[in-house]
């Protein structure tokens, strides 16, 4: 049995030495041009005991891929071919495969390499100016849009989905070489269990055709469709050492229509629709609004007993909400660094319907105007376990914080402090919260693996 690590240096060493399938170790390159040293890292599997995705058979991704299923990709067309050849049916391709991304892959790229824009994907009967004129609440009222222009928007969304939603099948590993970027696309892991995604930067998964939802909130909201990574109806998924960002197209730069920001981005990593047994480790989430939705509906039904997710050693850097927002699931949140700032910050951990989050040994660095009482938000839940967390705020010395007590002191109704379970799958073990920045800062995000 491998020793469990407790210090920053040993954690770093373990990242480099994580065991994995290392077949085809001859010198040189694979038939598709992947260096053998890169292939060895790309075939790594989730270590035993590392979060919910390690339960049972664990998560191996494409480690069993044959020599002809180790692919080097440099374009959207390459990526679709490596995943099986047809984006519409790739989600059912269960052949074990390892995909190594080299460079920038743009979801808006046509097969001939040219870039398509939003205008190229728009239905002929859709235009944003016409949509704004037709559904202005002063004209249309505060009811959902209907009619030809809304139908044209929906057709436009279908066009974009075919272009920028990349469907991933079971038994797949996708890893990036240093500097690899997936921009303008969604990795859709839907009904595709045993998937590993590592060492990639996800950039600007923008929606060309956001929907106006006048009944969302008191004054309505614009809502977009595309996550950077979406996990649905899948088990045994490991998302590790990635960076999630909006790049040079932040939400703060979008215009305001109908008095609300024109929201062109959705989540970074949403885990919904009965997905379960997911480990999210050593990722960096930078400058985004909505990050991670675990459970998409308050309806009591198929999600009960599902949505089991572990989040450890992630950096949440200047992000605003859903860090994560949880419904139903037993979600283990430990040893993450929350570096929070900005006037638009909403909350960190959302306690939703029948949620059971266990929040332990996290470190919260809080900017001006953010208090410990702001870190939890009650979305219809009743209890959350919080232990060993620390806060660094108000230019005072870092100190332990009882997140439930801080929340209850300023909010009604109170949240209970016992989520009803104790995590068992923790390798590496939790380190004390004051050490978390030393471990997470240098090692979270893309570009940290030897690829």
Q: Give the active site residues.
A: 322
Joined tokens for residue 150: 């809304």
The length of the chain in residues reads 451
User: From CA 97, how far away is CA 70, in angstroms rounded?
Assistant: 6
User: Cα–Cα distance between 154 and 118 in angstroms, integer?
Assistant: 14
- DSSP lists the bridge partners of residue 286 as 317
Helix (H, G, I), strand (E, B) or coil at 223: strand
Compute the half-sphere exposure of residue 114: CA atoms within 13 Å on the CB side of its CA. Answer: 4
DSSP-derived secondary structure letter, 54? G
d(CA 152, CA 124): 8
Q: Residue 356 to residues 333, 362, 418, 419, 427: CA-CA distances in angstroms?
A: 11, 17, 8, 5, 20
Q: What is the DSSP letter of 161?
A: H
The terminus-to-terminus CA distance of the chain in angstroms comes to: 26
b/e burial code for range 359-373 (CB count within 10 A of at least 16 → b): bbbbbbbbeeebebe
Q: What is the SS3 assignment for 437?
A: helix
Tokens describing residue 142: 């505060």
150, burial (CB in 10 Å: exposed 0-12, middle 13-18, buried 19+) = middle
* DSSP letter assigned to residue 430: P
Long-range pairs, 3-12, Cβ under 8 A, ≥24 = 4/427, 4/428, 4/429, 5/428, 5/429, 6/428, 6/429, 6/431, 7/431, 7/435, 8/435, 8/438, 8/439, 8/442, 11/313, 11/428, 11/431, 11/439, 11/443, 12/442, 12/443
């Amino acid at each position: 049995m491998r020793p469990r690590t407790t210090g920053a240096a040993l954690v770093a060493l373990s990242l480099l030495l994580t065991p994995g399938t290392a077949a085809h170790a001859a010198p040189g390159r694979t038939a598709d041009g992947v260096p053998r040293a890169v292939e060895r890292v790309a075939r790594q599997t989730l270590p035993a005991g590392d979060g919910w995705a390690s339960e049972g058979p664990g998560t191996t991704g494409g480690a069993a891929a044959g020599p002809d299923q180790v692919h080097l990709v440099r374009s959207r067309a390459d990526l679709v071919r490596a995943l099986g050849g047809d984006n519409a049916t790739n989600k059912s391709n269960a052949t074990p495969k390892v995909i190594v991304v080299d460079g920038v892959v743009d979801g808006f790229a046509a097969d001939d390499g040219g870039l398509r824009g939003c205008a190229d994907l728009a239905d002929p009967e859709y235009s944003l100016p016409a949509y704004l004129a037709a559904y202005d609440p002063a004209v249309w009222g505060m009811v959902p849009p209907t009619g030809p222009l809304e139908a044209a928007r929906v057709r436009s969304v279908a066009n974009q989905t075919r272009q920028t939603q990349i469907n991933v099948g079971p038994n797949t590993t996708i890893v990036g070489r240093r500097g690899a970027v997936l921009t303008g696309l969604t990795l859709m892991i839907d009904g595709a269990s045993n998937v590993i995604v590592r060492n990639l930067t996800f950039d600007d998964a923008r929606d060309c055709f956001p929907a106006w939802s006048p009944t969302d909130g008191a004054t309505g909201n614009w809502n977009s469709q595309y996550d950077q990574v979406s996990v649905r109806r899948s088990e045994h998924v490991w998302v590790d050492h990635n960076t999630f960002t909006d790049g040079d197209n932040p939400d703060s730069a979008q215009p305001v229509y109908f008095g609300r920001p024109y929201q062109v981005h959705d989540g970074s990593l949403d885990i919904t629709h009965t997905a379960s047994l997911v480990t999210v480790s050593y990722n960096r989430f930078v400058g985004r609004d909505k990050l991670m939705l675990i459970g998409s509906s308050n309806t009591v039904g198929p999600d009960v007993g599902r949505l089991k997710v572990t989040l450890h050693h992630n950096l949440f850097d200047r992000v605003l909400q859903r860090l994560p927002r949880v419904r139903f699931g037993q979600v283990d949140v430990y040893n993450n660094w929350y570096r929070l700032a900005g006037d638009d910050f909403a909350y960190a951990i959302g306690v939703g319907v029948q949620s059971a989050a266990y929040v332990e040994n996290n470190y919260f660095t809080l900017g001006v105007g953010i208090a410990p009482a702001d870190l939890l938000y009650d979305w219809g839940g009743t209890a959350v376990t919080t232990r060993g967390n620390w806060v660094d705020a108000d230019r005072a010395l870092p100190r332990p914080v009882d997140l439930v007590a801080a929340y209850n002191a300023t909010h009604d109704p109170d949240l209970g402090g016992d989520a009803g379970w104790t995590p068992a799958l923790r390798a590496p073990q939790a380190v004390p919260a004051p050490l978390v920045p030393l471990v997470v800062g240098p090692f979270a995000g893309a570009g940290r693996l030897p690829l």
